[in-house]
Structure 1
Amino acid sequence: MQQNGSILADIGGTNARFAVLDEAGEIKQVKIYSVRENPTFIGALLNFRDTQCQDYKIVALALAVAGPVLGDIVPFTNSDWVCDRQEIIKAFGTETVFILNDFEAVAVALVDLKPDNLQIIQAGKKSDRHPMVIMGAGTGLGVGALKPILRAGGFEAITTEAGHTRYAPANERERNMIRFLSRSLNFVRAEDLISGPGLVNLYQANCHLVSEKPKPCVPADVVQWAREGDNLCHQVLDDFAAIFGSFASQMALSYNAIGGIYLTGGVLEKMDTEFDQKRFLERFATNPTMADLLNRIPVLRVKSDIPAFAGLRVVLKETMGL
């Protein structure tokens, strides 16, 4: 006999992660699809339903997608996929289809994270009256915020496309790297530096600075070469942490995020201990006027595997009681 269930999806530029939320609120049947190996989003979604959901009657879907959600049809920012709400309603026979920006869902998950899901980078002094900001480096750079609603209680998620803002170099060395990258990218965004592809861009820029020919590579190669003792790749990881710290500082001040800065994403997961937290914090607090405020802001690393799922579960719980 089938039980009621809901499909959760967290879709980035590289991977699409699907799961079932059962009647007890447990996340089950997690499956990861390669975006590149599946021509369409609806095709991957239906494949998940047909192969993983035989024991469930699907009554709702909550989807976190990497792109601005402005209506029922959502093109993905870093892939050719499109999420069409009416197409999903027709395929599943339910009107209960929620589509959120991926970092809106990740931001909502912050209220549900337990201490053992977090690693403290800077303890700071958290304020429950101020926003929290979460940033994740993956195929792109996602940024979301969660703002407390003081009179009514609860929180409001704020979606952003801050990863697509122009990166402001902090010193002459970074200016030289940006000049080099501008030859091919023209407009160098924060996402072009703080992401998986950003690691490759930083590697190529570092090669340019020392007049060395870059080797063909993917982000994992850069991290592995650094682990093997390559000095230039060590510098790349240093640049990554420093630039991430500068950008996080801008976001912290923009949102007055005394509720905390939270870091997540596949790049940090794969870098593991190679992510230089000390270097990140050095640049995070490099603002003579606001150093005291920045030192007060908690900075934490999210260890939860797929935090968007937790946020989507919160959305379904609040709207449907699931």
Structure 2
Amino acid sequence: MPLPLKSRLSLVADIGGTNTRVALADGKVLQEGTVRRFRNADFPGLETILRAYLEALPDVECGGACVAVAGPVAQGVATMTNLDWTIDGPTLTRATGAEMVAILNDLQAQGHALGYIAPENLRPVIGQGEPDPIAAKLVIGVGTGFNAAPVHETPWGRVVAASECGHVNMPVRNEADLRLAHFVETAHGFPGVEDVLSGRGLERLFAFVSKEAGSPSEATAAAIMGGLANEAEGGFAPDVARLFTRLLGAEAGNLALTHLPFGGIYLCGGVSRAIAPYLTQMGFEAAFRDKGRFSGFMKNFSVSVVEDDYAALTGCAVYLDQGTQG
């Protein structure tokens, strides 16, 4: 497919803890065939990645650039949570030559993508009819890390508030959860949500479950999910997945009561997509609604998994396009 006029192109990037995805967009639409994935460990910083991407497309001139970053953004500067990179506007301008640049938290980008994701890329987990399109929504990211962001429609446009809620206390419902909290707090001195609900969280849950069973062992997140897919050889994997699902349901329920997203909850990120086929059978809905006298109230919220791996890139394109139109 031929690229559109240079003046209409923008560069968008999704920078995770492990990989960076880069693409070109025409307005709100990603350009087919332009998405490239880079392994962060192979590069000293984002500027080098963006230069390498554009050098492979010598005829491209960027009118704007927007990146989504897995970490907090304050005063136009992003600090990666799980990577030793700092990103700011001058970095994007040097790398791309774009006059208009923007930096979003990765969950903010996911929030801006809502409404622009194909229906076939949304997997229902809990349904309650058609959500109110103008009501508040919530995106929850579970991947290398954990985070969430509320999405609000206002007369002045969409507002997606940033947060770092992956670093609040993990949910504790029973004595086993309390033992788990003490087990995981040895890593950072604090039992955070991200310590149990993320890729490395899966690995810590495996270590905990195997220790509780009297046979301490370790496994990678990929091996755990592989064992789950082949339950006959899964070992502790099914028990780990059930624990993960219960904790995810509990935390998603906590966030639902905090933000009241009557427009729907959207789980995104690599771990969310990997465990999506098992959420129903492993009790996600029961854990989500386990809120005592508010259990019935929890029926007001729908939950879906975003299976579009490029949703954050679309969100960057939407955000940048809205800025140019404003």
Q: Which bracket does the TM-score occupy, shorter chain normalised?
A: over 0.9
CA contact (8 A) 1:241 1:276 kept: no
The reply on whether 1:142 has 2:147 as its aligned counterpart is yes
Aligned residue runs from structure 1 range 100-249, under 5 A: 100-125=104-129, 126-149=131-154, 152=155, 154-215=157-218, 217-229=219-231, 230-249=234-253
Q: How far is 1:123 from its partner?
A: 1.4
Instruction: Tell me, in whole angstroms, the C-alpha distance in 1 between the residues paired with 2:263 and 2:176.
Output: 33
Distance 1:201 1:109, change over 3 A: same
Aligned to 1:43: 48
Q: How far is 1:227 from its partner?
A: 2.7
Distance 1:92 1:226, change over 3 A: closer
Q: Which secondary structure does the structure 2 equivalent of 1:54 belong to?
A: coil
Q: How far is 1:68 from its partner?
A: 1.0
Which deviations, in whole Å up to 9, do the C-alpha atoms of 1:300-319 show, x marking residues without a partner? 11122211112112112211
CA contact (8 A) 2:128 2:299 kept: yes
Instruction: Tell me, in whole angstroms, the C-alpha distance in 2 between the residues paired with 1:76 and 1:314.
Output: 22
Instruction: Tell me, in whole angstroms, the C-alpha distance in 2 between the residues paired with 1:24 and 1:196.
Output: 30
The reply on whether 1:319 has 2:317 as its aligned counterpart is no
Q: Which secondary structure does the structure 1 equivalent of 2:170 belong to?
A: coil
Instruction: Tell me, in whole angstroms, the C-alpha distance in 1 between the residues paired with 2:318 and 2:21.
Output: 17
The reply on whether 1:70 has 2:74 as its aligned counterpart is yes
Question: Alignment partner for residue 32 of structure 1, among 25, 30, 37?
Answer: 37
Amino acid aligned to 1:266: G
Deviates more, 1:26-35 or 1:226-235: 226-235
Instruction: Tell me, in whole angstroms, the C-alpha distance in 1 between the residues paired with 2:271 and 2:197.
Output: 9
Q: Which secondary structure does the structure 2 equivalent of 1:74 belong to?
A: strand
Q: Which secondary structure does the structure 1 equivalent of 2:63 belong to?
A: strand
Instruction: Tell me, in whole angstroms, the C-alpha distance in 2 between the residues paired with 1:270 and 1:288.
Output: 30
Q: Which secondary structure does the structure 2 equivalent of 1:159 belong to?
A: coil
Q: How far is 1:264 from its partner?
A: 1.2
What is the TM-score with the length of structure 1 in the denominator? Answer: 0.92
The root-mean-square deviation of aligned C-alpha atoms, in Å, is 2.1
Instruction: Tell me, in whole angstroms, the C-alpha distance in 2 between the residues paired with 1:106 and 1:23.
Output: 17
Q: How far is 1:72 from its partner?
A: 3.4
Aligned to 2:26: 22
Distance 1:226 1:140, change over 3 A: same
Q: How far is 1:290 from its partner?
A: 1.2
Aligned residue runs from structure 1 range 274-289, under 5 A: 274-276=278-280, 278-289=282-293
Question: Alignment partner for residue 268 of structure 1, among 255, 269, 272?
Answer: 272
Distance 1:129 1:176, change over 3 A: same
Amino acid aligned to 1:197: R
Aligned to 2:101: 97
Identical aligned residues as a percent? 26
Aligned to 1:299: 303
Q: Which secondary structure does the structure 2 equivalent of 1:156 belong to?
A: strand
Instruction: Tell me, in whole angstroms, the C-alpha distance in 1 between the residues paired with 2:221 and 2:174.
Output: 24
- Give the gaps of 5 or more residues in structure 1: none
Deviates more, 1:191-200 or 1:37-46: 37-46
Which deviations, in whole Å up to 9, do the C-alpha atoms of 1:190-246 show, x marking residues without a partner? 11111100000100111111121213x321011112333324211000011110000
Question: Alignment partner for residue 10 of structure 1, among 7, 14, 20?
Answer: 14
Instruction: Tell me, in whole angstroms, the C-alpha distance in 2 between the residues paired with 1:57 and 1:131.
Output: 37
What is the TM-score with the length of structure 2 in the denominator? Answer: 0.91
CA contact (8 A) 1:238 1:276 kept: no
Q: How far is 1:100 from its partner?
A: 0.7
Instruction: Tell me, in whole angstroms, the C-alpha distance in 2 between the residues paired with 1:220 and 1:74.
Output: 29
